[in-house]
């Protein structure tokens, strides 16, 4: 998968479906500076310790190629090497409006 296709699938398209685009899902003037840095050389098998608030995942045992190492939200580092660094209450509610181009598409 090309890097552009990965960005579309994991960011831009998801933001569009959720009604958050262009504030989320793109790096552009006026958009939030949300970035996840991925170590593409990292390989490991996922365990239940990798998931939060669940006791079952279909991804348990999956061999991951690449791993998020740093997450930057609105220009601030919020996760670094699996350590949560965001201050309590630093989240923001974002009102959303789902584009009719998304809601009028066929489901399948």
| Tokens, residue 5 | 């296709």
CATH code of 33-87, in short, is: 2.30.40.10
Q: What's the pLDDT band for 48 if we cut at 50, 70, 90?
A: very high
- pLDDT of the residue at 108: 66
Task: Give percent helix, percent strand, percent coil of the chain, each to the nearest 5.
Answer: 20, 25, 55
Q: What's the pLDDT band for 22 if we cut at 50, 70, 90?
A: very high
How, if at all, do strands 76-80 and 35-45 pair?
A: unpaired
Each domain of the chain, given as residue ranges in start order, spans 1-29, 33-87
64 pLDDT more than 80: yes
Q: Which residue has the tokens 């740093």?
A: 70
- pLDDT of the residue at 57: 93
């Amino acid at each position: 998968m090309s890097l552009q296709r990965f960005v579309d699938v994991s960011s831009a398209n998801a933001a569009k479906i959720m009604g958050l685009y262009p504030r989320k899902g793109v790096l552009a003037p006026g958009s939030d500076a949300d970035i996840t840095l991925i170590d593409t050389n990292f390989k490991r098998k996922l365990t239940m310790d990798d998931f939060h608030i669940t006791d079952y995942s279909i991804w348990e045992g999956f061999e991951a190629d690449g791993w998020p190492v740093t997450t930057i939200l609105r220009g601030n580092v919020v996760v670094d090497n699996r350590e949560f660094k965001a201050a309590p209450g630093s989240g923001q509610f974002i009102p959303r409006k789902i584009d009719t181009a998304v809601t009028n598409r066929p489901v399948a």
